[in-house]
Chain A
Amino acid sequence: MAHIEICNVKKKFKKTIAIDDISLDIKDNEFFVLFGPAGAGKTTTLNIIAGIAFPDQGYVKIDGKIVNLLEPAKRNVSMVFENYALYPHLTVYDNIASPMRSPTFKKDEAYIKQEIERVTAILGISKLLDRLPKQLSNGQKQRVALGRCLVRKPNVFLMDEPLAHLDAKLRHFMRAELKEMQSNFNTTTIYVTHDYMEALSLGDRIGILNNGKIEQIGVGDDIFYRPANEFIAKMMGEPEINILEIELVQEAAKFGLRIFNMDKVFELPRDVEAAFRRKVPNDVDMGIRANDIEISISKKSDEYIHGTVYSIEPIGNKSVLIIAVNDIQIRTIVPNDFSAELDSDIYMKINYKNAIYFDRNTKAFIFRHENEDLSEKVI
């Protein structure tokens, strides 16, 4: 258990700025995910907490104490590596016992036995103690590797993309395994990933890093429904969110929106309209996810926008239908039995209630309609 603070940390490698003035406050027992693209500074941040890398500027505090000068072994952090690295010739018992038998942490065998019983009970692997790694399923291996970290009673768990090397199918199961165990850890955990599903699934809170800077910190719902900018919106979800230029027009003292240079002015949800009235933005982009666009092969009403079928890509129980309007491509979702000729006419209706509005110049979040039924269910 530990409360971790990172205060104005900067780190340069030669002329490259890896971390540019980052501050984080990670609560005791929190599962905190650092999410971002390759080269964002995620691993460097993790290494600075572990004591493997040193900040050029700023502090790292564990439980209120500055640890910048504390060597890694004394910080009581435990790093879980990508490949779990179990000793193949040792049983589960001896694998988990290994850190307690090391010269630094040497403990007597009675204590070791007691610790292994405690930890394996938490992880549900008490019956596997005599097995060798090759006799374990992947999920069990993961639990043994975590068990080996837990016996040291670390203050902090640091995990650097532990699932990244797995194929998509296995990753799905291992993520569920990790999530099922995480409430039993009683340890502050910092988890680095570039996979948005891992971030949303595992993180009590998520910190989004890009170019060495924190772009947003929040719970999954904040990040998904109210992303701080277009960059974050685009990283969350598949297919990627559509970012479309819109024009705000004032009609009878009310703001509406125009899209694709059409004549029609679409009505905005009341709270969105009010938000635009409070502070009139210059140029606005609208983010709309594929699921929030309804498709029809006929123009059912004047709410429907005309386009042509650019491509249909089946992906299992649904298909991604890409629609071209002028030169803009819009990603939508249709049932997997949908079929149409390429370049044929198609109509779409945008559910403006679920749109996210951004400033086109700064790309920053402006507003999203407060979805009552959604906020009720937010835990």
Chain B
Amino acid sequence: MAELILDHLCKMYDSEKKKGDKAEIAVNDLNLKCKDGEFIGILGPSGCGKTTTLRMIAGLEEITSGGIFIGERKINNVEPKDRNVGLAFEDYALYPPLTVYDNIAFNMRARKINDVDIKREISRIAPLMKIEKLLQKRPAELSGGQKQRVNIARAIIRKPKLLLLDEPLSHLDGKMRQVLRTEIKRLHNEIKCTTIIVTHDQLEAMSLADRIAIMNNGKLQQFGTPLEIYESPQNEFVAGFIGEPPMNLNRVTVIKLGDSLQFAFEDSQVRIAVPAKYNDVLKNGMVVKMGIRPTDFIINNPNGKGGTEVKVAVFENLGEEKRISIRIGEEYLTIVTADEKRYHPGDMIKIEVKDDRAHIFDISTGERLSLKN
């Protein structure tokens, strides 16, 4: 168990080391502090630097500058095998001729641990990963989910200080992914080992991690709990990356209509009242990115103070959830409701934003515009 600190961590690939060319930096000045026993998710689209970061922590990738500390100890120059890190990758890399038992025992035997201790350790780990009945089978006889369980068992058998998981669920089908996701979360609670999972799947990061580090273009975008990241995204990238269906993000002009401010969409007559909390931040004529989650609308509120009348372009009944799409120029504004009412294309509905839950972002930097206190 240990605290993990990434201190101004940078990675540039040799062939691309050109001065001032920012785009070729794989990891750019990354600072992260993971508490002892914490479950951290590193989340981002492909090419964002998340796997490079993980590989630097594991010692599989050289560090260009900055430091990595486990506890008090700087590990930049420590050999991978001496870092005491457990690794489980997306592809399971089990030895096909060996049984599950021998696969798990392999590294321990390499370290000359005696058979009695190996046996004791495997019987401790097997029930945790629910693989007791698989120990005598060979990899070819296992399902994808079972292989990943064995893979993780092999990673945690040596009681590592740090467990690193690289997209462990992305090869699995929907149902198995859900089951194993829950199991990994339970396992973490059981062994309380500082764990880092790298994933491109926002649902996976949200559901597993205590805190999530979102990366894009080698840079950290936000580091926070799933709730913080969902409720107060620090910039437009995070806002659009987290949540399904995604947050409505529209370029709007603030206009003054009588006493109140309105967001006016481009290529559309649709206006949405500016939440009162932004009255001091926004001025007539300002252009901003407005962000509203599809679940943050109220439709035809009987107690509402008007709202905005819009025309339903598409109505989708997805079982419990219904989705309404409104045409805004070439794009859609999406509204999600659990209400039983069914609508039809062409229906006029009145929408308002629930509890002033609209986000605003700077039109050029994409940074969240916060309230003046």
Q: Interface residues, chain A, CB within 8 Å of chain B?
A: 137, 139-140, 168-169, 172-173, 175-176, 179-180, 183, 196-197, 200-201, 220-221, 224, 236-237, 239-240, 289, 291, 310-311, 313-317, 320, 322, 329, 336-337, 342, 373-374, 377-379
Contacts and interface: CB of A to CB of B under 8 A. Distances in A.
7 contacts: A201-B318, A237-B319, A313-B185, A315-B203, A316-B295, A336-B227, A374-B340
Give the residue among A236, A310, A311, A378 with the most B Cβ atoms within 10 A.
A311
Contacts of A176: 313-314, 316, 323, 325, 332, 334
Contact of B178 (A179, A236, A240): A240
Contacts of A172: 244-246, 323, 334
Interface in B317-338: 317-320, 323, 325, 330-332, 334, 338
B293 interface: yes
A224 B321 CA distance: 12
Contacts of B246: 169, 172
B227 A314 contact: yes
- Pick the most buried of B206, B230, B320, B342: most chain A CB atoms within 10 A of its CB: B320
Contact of B230 (A137, A179, A336): A336
Contacts of B227: 314, 336-337
Contacts of A342: 186, 189
B230 A220 contact: no
Nearest to B340: A377
Nearest to B331: A173
Given A240-B178, A314-B230, A316-B243, A200 B317 contact: yes
Nearest to B242: A316
Contacts of B208: 313
B44 interface: no
Given A179-B316, A291-B320, A377 B206 contact: no
Given A172-B244, A320-B207, A322-B182, A377 B341 contact: yes
B66 interface: no
Contacts of B330: 137, 139-140
A228 to B, nearest CB: 16
Contacts of A221: 317
Contacts of B320: 237, 289, 291
Given A240-B178, A320-B207, A377-B341, A314 B245 contact: no
A206 to B, nearest CB: 12
Interface in B142-165: none
Interface in B329-357: 330-332, 334, 338, 340-342, 344-345
B174 to A, nearest CB: 8
A311 B189 CA distance: 10
Interface string B222-235: 00001100110000
Contacts of B332: 173, 176
